[in-house]
Amino acid sequence: KAGVTQTPRYLIKTRGQQVTLSCSPISGHRSVSWYQQTPGQGLQFLFEYFSETQRNKGNFPGRFSGRQFSNSRSEMNVSTLELGDSALYLCASSPEPGLAGTDTQYFGPGTRLTVL
């Protein structure tokens, strides 16, 4: 099976702009989670989508939003970009979180966002 893919891989934006990142999970995986990775803060959970519904949400401002489509592909959007939003954004997919043996997350390569 093909792994988790993310587009674009690199993005440069300026403060105040908005950005949309895309994630395609492994075929058959229904859950997609998003993480922000920065050198100082490690992997911070943003939100998780399952069957087009946001099931879990991390502690991020409302500028960060997402959605999931019927084919399980997911997008995340960041509006009114700030310098501090510069980070690697990772998505991860899993078949069925909460079900032993099918809850392992597999990560995509990430999108490196730089905000100038």
Instruction: Point out which residues bind another protein (CB under 8 A).
Output: 4, 33, 35, 41-43, 45, 48, 56, 90, 97-98, 100, 103-110
At residue 46's C-alpha, the angle toward residues 41 and 61, to 5°, is 90
Cβ nearer to another protein, comparing 51 with 56? 56
**Least spacing, CB of residue 65 vs another protein, in Å:** 17
Question: How many H-runs (helices) and E-runs (strands) does the chain carry?
Answer: 0, 11
- Nearest distance, CB of residue 80 and another protein, angstroms: 26
Going by C-alpha positions, the residue among 87, 81, 50 that lies closest to residue 67 is 50
Rank residues 32 and 81 by Cβ distance to another protein and give the closer one.
Answer: 32
Q: How far is the CB of 34 from another protein (least distance, A)?
A: 11
Distant-in-sequence, close-in-space partners of 7: CB < 8 Å, separation ≥ 6: 21, 22, 111
- Residue 24 or 33: the one with the smaller Cβ distance to another protein is 33
